[in-house]
Amino acid sequence: MKNKNVMIKEDRISELPELVIENILLRLVSSKDRVRVSVLSKRWCALTASFPFFDFNCDEFVKGVYGTIYNHDARYLFYKYVEHSVSRFCCQQNLKNVHTFKLCSLFKDDVEVGIINKCLELILEKGLKVLDIDITVYPHLQEYRLPIRPSSRVSSLTSLTLSQHVLPSSLMVDDANLHSLKVLWLNKVTLDPVVTKNLTSSCPLLEKLIVEYCYGVKKFSVYGRLQNLKKFRFIDNKFNGVERIDIEAPYLYECHLSVRPCEGATSVKLGSCKQLRTLYLDGSFFPTSIGFSEFFNNFPFIENLSLSLHGQCNSLVVSSPSLRKFVLYDECDLEEIDINTPNLILFSYANECNFRNPCKFKKIDLGELNARMECHIINGVDSLWFKKLRQFLESANRFKVLKLDNSFLGKISVDFNQLKVTGLLPYELEHVELKLFQEKVLTVLDGILWCCRPRSLSLTSNFSFMSDKKRSHFLKFISAKLLQQEDKGQTNIQIEWSFPSNAETYFSWNSMMPELPDHNKLQTLTFIKEEGPFQEEEKNETVKGLQMLRLRICVIL
């Protein structure tokens, strides 16, 4: 009796309202976690049985049971678990509609195929909303085809994701009965123009269309009824070049096109997409810069633009009053880039077309007034490149913050004497950020401080591996370089060191011996020039000029 009372007291989950328990179930992404908790509560176990969200991943299940994905017995248990979960749900009275069914697995034999087909046939009759199937099959098996028949209830689907298998014939006809579908994601499936036309014309409410690495695609066209399409993403499979992409979607908001470089350019038409705000282009699309300009002029409200044109355009002109963020990964020289973008707040440039950062635009505080330029050095640069950078900054006449990132080991060589003979004055900037390896800092610093005159400078590197003596010399050198840009000639400038503890320590110019935190990770040093009135001892009068050079030290975790 005592143990029973203890068990009752411990089962606090059963005391919660059903809506609260269902909310918790929704937040547990893994089926394994749901099963674990069901052991602690009978009510939880009962609700799990009627929970209309299924997410089955074979590798995760097998690894969770045996600690490795290579176990035949665990694979057998996985398919039995899927079969039991689906049949238990479908056998209940007062059955709810199924909301989500996700499956990621590898088929090794026909028995596994049969179990999953049976489960899908049951699920598709229960008003399913979200279907996500990622199936890989062993070479001796036929390509997997979803068991969707003309009589299947697919009209309730709002999201359909199909990966690595053949489309069922019922989805290839001109009326596939997908009238509620809002998201369609096709990955590594075989397509042709007729299938594409029939499939998309059957989805009048489609808002998001993703086609990635599909086979047989030479031409991809979307016409007609997709009045609600907001996002479109197309990536070819890198084996056969895409000749043409045509999209008619008047309310398209975001478009991402990526094709492999091939002989000739891929023709792309988005002329009706006047509401476009975000555009990614990666591949050979325009044989000339004029072709790009004519194409780009179709989008009067564009805000985000990312280009990697694989060196096809020797020059590039970008003119847009609405553009806010511009990313360019291309070997196009800085002197060949002409931008007329009065509202631009970010220009990110890498001098290599194959450079890849996550294809997302950075979130920037729109209230920030200082427009910034970021340079990622992939291919080598020299003194001439710094000269072109200086001229580009002046020509753009917009940027106040410059970031130079050499963490990708591009070769940098600077001849300071070659730069001096140009007679160009440094371009005024609010801030410069440098991310460099130690051995390149002093070389790059000459080029950057010839190119621009910042009010503050941040330098990110690993300084903790330097000896105290070398570090002190290093920081003195940087400080001296910054002070050389000031023409007031003061020698009584204060140096302020600010450490992570927020404690402030002051050093005179002659006794500067800072100690950086002993840390193996990257550190950022920030030099800040502060102007203000100071007292000249000899003349006993107050004049304006540089009063303090502040150094703030922080550790990047």
Q: Of 218-222, 258-262, 477-481, give the range with the top mean pLDDT.
A: 218-222
Please state, rounded to an integer, the average pLDDT across all residues of the chain: 78
- What range does the domain containing 504 cover? 486-555
* pLDDT number for residue 31: 60
pLDDT higher than threshold 90 for residue 208? yes
Do 281 and 306 touch, CB atoms closer than 8 A? yes
Maximum average pLDDT range among 387-401, 405-419, 542-556: 387-401
Question: Hey, is 538 helix, strand or coil?
Answer: coil
Q: What is the mean pLDDT of residues 465-477?
A: 78
Confidence (pLDDT) at 508:
40
- Point out the domain boundary residue: 51, 73, 89: 51
Q: Residue 45's pLDDT is what?
A: 63
Instruction: For 1-29, write each residue's pLDDT tens digit.
Output: 444 444 445 666 666 676 776 676 666 65
Q: Given this model, what pLDDT does residue 226 score?
A: 84
Write the pLDDT tens digit of every residue in 123-149: 988 889 999 999 988 888 888 888 887
User: pLDDT: is 39 or 289 the higher one?
Assistant: 289
* Greater pLDDT, 71 or 213: 213
387-392: long-range contacts, CB 8 A cutoff, minimum separation 24: 387/419, 387/422, 387/424, 387/451, 388/333, 388/334, 388/335, 389/334, 389/451, 390/424, 390/426, 390/427, 390/450, 390/451, 390/452, 391/334, 391/335, 391/424, 392/334, 392/335, 392/337
The answer as to whether 220 is a domain residue is: no
- pLDDT over 70, % of the chain: 72
In a domain, 251, yes or no: no
Rounded to the nearest angstrom, the gap between the alpha carbon of residue 260 and the centroid of all alpha carbons in its chain is 20
For residue 4, is it within any domain?
Answer: yes
Res. 253 pLDDT band, cuts 50 70 90: very high
Q: Is residue 513 part of a domain?
A: yes
Residue 522, in any domain of the structure: yes
Residue 314 lies in a domain: no
| Phi, psi dihedral angles at 290 (to 5 degrees) | -65, -40
Q: What is the pTM of this model?
A: 0.82
Average pLDDT over residues 30-54: 65
* Per-residue confidence band for 277, with pLDDT thresholds at 50, 70 and 90: very high
Q: What is the mean pLDDT of residues 520-539?
A: 65
Residue 199: its pLDDT value, please? Answer: 82
What pLDDT score was predicted for residue 466?
Answer: 75
Tokens of 137: 């099959």
pLDDT tens, position by position, 318-375: 999 999 999 998 878 888 899 999 999 999 998 776 655 544 555 555 555 689 999 9
For residue 521, is it within any domain?
A: yes
Confidence at residue 111, expressed as pLDDT on a 0 to 100 scale: 92
Residues 45-69 have a mean pLDDT of 77
State residue 530's pLDDT score: 72
pLDDT for res 7: 44
How far CA 412 is from CA of 292, 380, 383, 432, 499, in Å, comes to 31, 6, 9, 18, 31
Residue 30 maps to a domain? yes
State how many domains the chain has: 2
Higher pLDDT, 351 or 103: 103
